[in-house]
Chains A and B, each alone.
Chain A
Amino acid sequence: MSARIAAALFMSHVPAIGVASDLGKTEEPYWKPLFDGMQPARDWIAANPPDVVILVYNDHGNAFSLQMIPTFALGMAPFYEPADEGWGPRPVPTVEGHPALSAHIAQSVIPAGFDLTLVNEMTVDHGLTVPLTMMFDKPDAWPCKVVPLAVNVVQHPTPSGRRCVELGKALRAAVETFDDDIIVQIWGTGGMSHQLQGARAGLINAEFDNRFMDDMINNPEVLAEVPPVEYLREAGSEGIELVMWLIARGSMADLAGGGSPGEVHRLYHVPASNTAVGQLVLENGTVTA
């Protein structure tokens, strides 16, 4: 038996969502509709728990400064501590890694043409811990192991949508040759539309976001060709984070001749602080023609 990818999940990783959870504000009128909206995803994952999550996210100038800017950085460590982003570390559990799967991914994906940077020691910021909170609430320990894959979407040029989809395909091949009978999920995080800088800050584009989710489900190969400038113009300067969703989508069976994804959850909510929140749960290859 080998590992298999059971589902791909997609979601924003807005820091304010983590703060709302940490400070117990989830029943307040501002936050309740969003947390209620995420409950079906929490129910689903309780019934469909992963052994390992490959979590695609970006660091926001916390673990990495500008001293070095890896385009794709794979975590290799047994543990990752939550970063102190300037307000103290989030009071959430230490993230447990899966070094054997990390090593296997490195040995599979680099020869396939993706020159990953391998990171043995790093902290993880809200980009990684907020999605865990969104899916698992506030447990004493996270219920699965995590392999972090950090993508540079802070300094342009970022990797293209096409490159992200192709990396997802390589990750799928890597997981399926891992000789351990484990259930893996791939999560693509970040977005949706938001802009945190300049006179245009506060931009939200619900039409773009919803079309993006439609295409994420049905037309990923078309989405792969969307140039970075379109994200910047239409979804705001920080909306470029959405390219990370394409890595998770690229790992799904339909792009390798298998069945189509089955949609089990879809949420869109504005705002969380300055940002539009999207969340999508797609089971892998469950729909056959």
Chain B
Amino acid sequence: MAIEKPYLDIPGTIVFDADQARLGYHLNQFAMSLMNADNRKRFKADEDAYLDEWGMTHEQKQAVVDRDFNRLLALGGNIYFLAKIGATDGLSYVQIVSSMTENDADQHAAMMIAGGRSVDGNRYLHEWEDRP
């Protein structure tokens, strides 16, 4: 019998569970490797060559090259590891986080100062049905 996952109907959210971790293991280990300055240098010098050293899928490598964080989450990435890719690019957490939303970094920071994104209308997938 399948494990019940009641968190699958939260909109705009991919919960990093053991199944996601299985998909994303090499992706996250690649991202973790960027904590090392030499590895950052090698990655920046030739992204494709560095990515080929890791047992990642073509889709995962392409999403890294595209810096498509939402796609990377779907492909098994975890935000704490993915943030190390952003850090390698010199991005702040607010820049990384806002890139996954409808807002740019300034708009996102302003939203946070105004109290953040409300939970109302953002609890269940069906509440997002009308969104483009």
Residue ranges of A at the interface with B (Cβ–Cβ < 8 Å): 15-16, 60-62, 65-67, 84-87, 154-157, 193, 195-206, 208, 227-229, 232-234, 237-238, 270-271, 273-274, 276
Cβ contact within 8 Å between B7 and A233: yes
For the residues of A in contact with B, the DSSP-based class is loop
Cβ contact within 8 Å between B11 and A200: yes
Cβ contact within 8 Å between B115 and A202: no
Partner of B18, one of A60, A156, A237: A156
Instruction: Report the Cα distance A80→B108, complex, angstroms.
Output: 35
Cβ contact within 8 Å between B115 and A229: no
Instruction: Report the Cα distance A205→B123, complex, angstroms.
Output: 11
Cβ contact within 8 Å between B73 and A204: no
Chain B residue, CB-CB nearest to A199: B12
Cβ contact within 8 Å between B35 and A62: yes
For the residues of B in contact with A, the DSSP-based class is helix
Cβ contact within 8 Å between B21 and A66: yes
Cβ contact within 8 Å between A61 and B78: yes
Give A80 Cβ to nearest chain B Cβ, in Å. 17
Residue ranges of B at the interface with A (Cβ–Cβ < 8 Å): 6-7, 10-18, 21, 25, 28-29, 32, 34-35, 69-70, 73, 78-81, 83-84, 87-88, 93-94, 97-98, 100-103, 108, 111-113, 115-119, 122-123
Cβ contact within 8 Å between A85 and B93: no
Chain A residue, CB-CB nearest to B119: A205
Give B10 Cβ to nearest chain A Cβ, in Å. 5
Cβ contact within 8 Å between B10 and A232: yes
Partner of B116, one of A62, A202, A233: A202
Give A244 Cβ to nearest chain B Cβ, in Å. 16
19 chain-A/chain-B pairs, Cβ below 8 angstroms:
A67-B29, A154-B78, A156-B17, A157-B18, A196-B93, A197-B79, A199-B101, A200-B117, A201-B101, A202-B117, A203-B118, A208-B119, A233-B7, A233-B10, A234-B123, A237-B10, A270-B112, A271-B116, A273-B94
Q: A61-B32, A156-B7, A193-B116 are in contact. List 6 more A-B contacts (CB 8 A).
A: A66-B32, A66-B81, A156-B15, A196-B83, A196-B93, A233-B7
Instruction: Report the Cα distance A229→B4, complex, angstroms.
Output: 11
Instruction: Report the Cα distance A156→B17, complex, angstroms.
Output: 4
Instruction: Report the Cα distance A229→B6, complex, angstroms.
Output: 7
Cβ contact within 8 Å between B16 and A154: yes
Cβ contact within 8 Å between A234 and B119: yes
Give A234 Cβ to nearest chain B Cβ, in Å. 6
Cβ contact within 8 Å between A198 and B14: yes
Q: Which residues of B contact A234 (CB under 8 A)?
A: 119, 123
Chain A residue, CB-CB nearest to B122: A200
Chain B residue, CB-CB nearest to A58: B80
Give A260 Cβ to nearest chain B Cβ, in Å. 31
Q: Which residues of B contact A274 (CB under 8 A)?
A: 93-94, 97, 112, 116
Instruction: Report the Cα distance A198→B103, complex, angstroms.
Output: 12
Q: Which residues of A contact B88 (CB under 8 A)?
A: 86
Instruction: Report the Cα distance A201→B119, complex, angstroms.
Output: 11
Q: Which residues of A contact B18 (CB under 8 A)?
A: 155-157
